[in-house]
Structure 1
Amino acid sequence: MPIWSTDALPPAERFAYWREVRAKHLFGVSAELEVDQRAAFRGEFSAEPLAAATLVEMHASPYWVRRTGEDISRAPGNSVCIYQQLGGAAWFGTSRKTEFTVAAGAVATSHTDLPYATRPTTEAGFHLRILKIPFTICVPFVRRDGDLSPQLVGNERRLSSLLSACFPAFLNQAATLTEADLDAAVVALAQIALGVRGLLAPTDEALRLAVRQVRLIQARDLISQNFRRGDLTPARIAAMLEISVRQLHLLFEPTGTTVARHLTALRLAHAQALLAEAPARPVSGVAFASGFDSLATFYRLFRNAFGMAPIEYRQSVSGVR
């Protein structure tokens, strides 16, 4: 993902450029910073399309940001936003006279075309990512009126906790999803964000299916981060996700594979890579480093998957006989 940085500009010009070109015209906000602090300003950002949505990541020195009525008229966005603080913390104030602080790792939701003000509360500055989802794809699912001004996503309700957990999981897994699955995942995230804000009824079928879809993404992400653990089993995965084993198996049912097969496939792919990249490493070490708790099981599964023993595979990729 290409990253644009102020480092390419003379220090005296960095904030002025960021304020006029990046903040005003790209982000559609007004930026303010004391004159004596501008020479030390630094900022970088990236923008990446994810299906119909856009993922923006930004890291910048502290400054004030406001999205005013004038900004909204000049640069309307009409998008639902899912915001995650990656480092430091940020204060938000809204037109509804509410205030909150987003700590590192926390998630908030909003609509682009409602006024707000924000600033970092630490010297770490802004360090955040925002998924902007066009409201046009959300409209068919909205079942009631509600407020979409900036609001912190708490953990007091199950749906809120799910959004906080599945948003980073989705971003971790986005590159592995097919185009169709990515489209569906973006819509599902939008539906859950709307559900958290009360714009979708908890009993709505669309919301139920969205929860199931992002739960699967969350499960895959958890497995991809933990498959090297020899004690990772479907029962442990279910416990980590706080669902039943039956619910976990039901998540994988539409995929054409099982939890166990998905886990084994990740372990075998990792073992393949280690066999090729570390030719001096013992096969037993490769097996245990890939999450297999039995060498005999590793040999059997490897041969079933690739038609040869691990040592034969290593010889075939290294050219050694």
Structure 2
Amino acid sequence: MAPDVPEGNSAGSFHTTDALPEQHRREYWRGALSRVLGTVSLTVPDEGYSGMIASTPLGRLQAVTVEGDGLSAVRTRRHIRQDGLDEHVVVKMLDRGVGRLEQDGRTAMLGPGDIFVYDMGRPLRLILPQAFRAKSLVIPRDVLGLTEPEIARVTAHPLGPDSFLGALVSPFLAGLVDGAGSYPPRTGELMARNVVDLLGVLAEEVLEKAVEENPDGSRALLLRIQAFIDRHLADPDLTPQVIARAHHISLRYLHKLFQSTDATVGRWIQRRRLEECRRDLALHGNATIAAVAHRWGFTSAAHFSRVFRAAYGMAPREWRGAQETASGGASPAELVDA
């Protein structure tokens, strides 16, 4: 949950119950969590509670370590309205202990080494029933670069340390949080950018897993991507890499989605461009072949002619002539389907 540290405060903050009499610890801990982690309804075990919170800026991110004897935290819509921290997303690794996270209609059971995501802008419940240590990166939503629906699909989907990506991200995140206060400012900013890139991959992995577990979701995503392709056909820079990045999925997963069609991603783009070019050749008899090709994203008229011939068995000019001869006085609309 987003640390309440003023922007540009390089000192961060530190809170511990160690020096307090036992009878004051629970109340102090509640106040410290509210100041550092945002407004929640908090339950802790007893008066002798022991805990520590350390928060350090890392560029626009915050690195946070929390240790405690256990707690239950509930964040409601009322809390969200109170503190204005709804524009932050938290990526957390449970370094020690077990827990349960509830958000967006899902419940995630958590164990040591698990990485998970929650959104400060929506209600949540986090229960850590025993002694724990957690290391977090608090990221402004605009830095992470995910849309609201995408964040909602990522929350409460833990990534275990036994997975390839989890094994890679867990030690990196832990080391980054532990060393956050020791980096020179420029180094901290560069590492923050690198970790955001890694977390983007993490989010992508979770999104892919969620979609793969829901065949209807895969089909809906494919249709959305095909519609995106149609909207950007005229862009000569439309590539599989651009498409994957726009939908926050990996290039590998994009190609996997298109395995259900009879074409690769590149072939699908080319096919749709050729179909639109063929339509324009029939509708716009005065347009040059090069103008039609360029309108639909072909940068070379010669290349367009070659792929058109390969697809339809004749050059664009020959095809246009054949349509005009066959149609006689037919209208342009009738020519389109010829």
SS at match of 1:92: strand
SS at match of 2:121: coil
CA contact (8 A) 2:43 2:71 kept: yes
1:6 is aligned to 2:17: yes
CA contact (8 A) 1:133 1:186 kept: no
SS at match of 1:39: coil
CA contact (8 A) 1:114 1:149 kept: no
1:151 is aligned to 2:157: yes
Which amino acid is 1:11 matched to?
Answer: E
* Residue identity (%): 19
1:56-95 deviation per Cα after TM superposition (whole angstroms, max 9, x unaligned): 1111112221111111111232222110111111122224
2:29 is aligned to 18
Match of 1:70 among 78, 103, 124: 78
Alpha carbons of structure 1 residues 169 and 150: separation in structure 2 relative to 1, 3 Å:
same
Give me the TM-score of the superposition, normalised by structure 2: 0.50
SS at match of 2:93: strand
- Between the aligned partners of 1:170 and 1:114, the Cα distance in structure 2 is 27
CA contact (8 A) 1:86 1:129 kept: yes
1:299 is aligned to none
1:191 is aligned to 200
2:43 is aligned to 32
CA contact (8 A) 1:81 1:110 kept: yes
Q: CA deviation at 1:170?
A: 4.2
1:42 is aligned to 2:53: no
Q: CA deviation at 1:162?
A: 4.2
- Between the aligned partners of 2:52 and 2:174, the Cα distance in structure 1 is 20
2:132 is aligned to 126
Give me the TM-score of the superposition, normalised by structure 1: 0.53
2:100 is aligned to 91
CA contact (8 A) 2:49 2:69 kept: yes
Alpha carbons of structure 1 residues 101 and 7: separation in structure 2 relative to 1, 3 Å:
same
Query: What residue ranges of structure 2 are gaps of 5+ in the alignment?
Result: 1-11, 209-220, 226-239, 251-338
CA contact (8 A) 1:51 1:186 kept: no
Q: CA deviation at 1:186?
A: 3.7
1:137 is aligned to 2:143: yes
CA contact (8 A) 1:12 1:38 kept: no
Alpha carbons of structure 1 residues 190 and 75: separation in structure 2 relative to 1, 3 Å:
farther
* Structure 1 vs Structure 2 CA RMSD: 3.5
Task: State the number of aligned residues.
Answer: 201
1:132-173 deviation per Cα after TM superposition (whole angstroms, max 9, x unaligned): 01112233x659745243331247875555444543354467
- Between the aligned partners of 1:63 and 1:173, the Cα distance in structure 2 is 26
Alpha carbons of structure 1 residues 16 and 169: separation in structure 2 relative to 1, 3 Å:
closer
CA contact (8 A) 2:63 2:138 kept: yes
> 5 Å matches for 1:200-279?
203=241, 204=244
> Which 10-residue stretch deviates more, 2-11 or 148-157?
148-157
Alpha carbons of structure 1 residues 93 and 145: separation in structure 2 relative to 1, 3 Å:
closer
SS at match of 1:56: strand
- Between the aligned partners of 2:138 and 2:114, the Cα distance in structure 1 is 17
1:182 is aligned to 2:191: yes
CA contact (8 A) 2:114 2:161 kept: no
Alpha carbons of structure 1 residues 143 and 26: separation in structure 2 relative to 1, 3 Å:
closer
- Between the aligned partners of 2:177 and 2:35, the Cα distance in structure 1 is 26
1:170-209 deviation per Cα after TM superposition (whole angstroms, max 9, x unaligned): 4467656724522422431342243234399995459799
1:81 is aligned to 90
2:64 is aligned to 56
- Between the aligned partners of 1:135 and 1:4, the Cα distance in structure 2 is 26
Query: What residue ranges of structure 1 are gaps of 5+ in the alignment?
Result: 210-321
1:168 is aligned to 174
Alpha carbons of structure 1 residues 26 and 146: separation in structure 2 relative to 1, 3 Å:
closer
Which amino acid is 1:151 matched to?
Answer: H
- Between the aligned partners of 1:8 and 1:157, the Cα distance in structure 2 is 40
- Between the aligned partners of 1:137 and 1:154, the Cα distance in structure 2 is 24
SS at match of 2:32: helix
1:287-310 deviation per Cα after TM superposition (whole angstroms, max 9, x unaligned): xxxxxxxxxxxxxxxxxxxxxxxx
Which amino acid is 2:41 matched to?
Answer: S
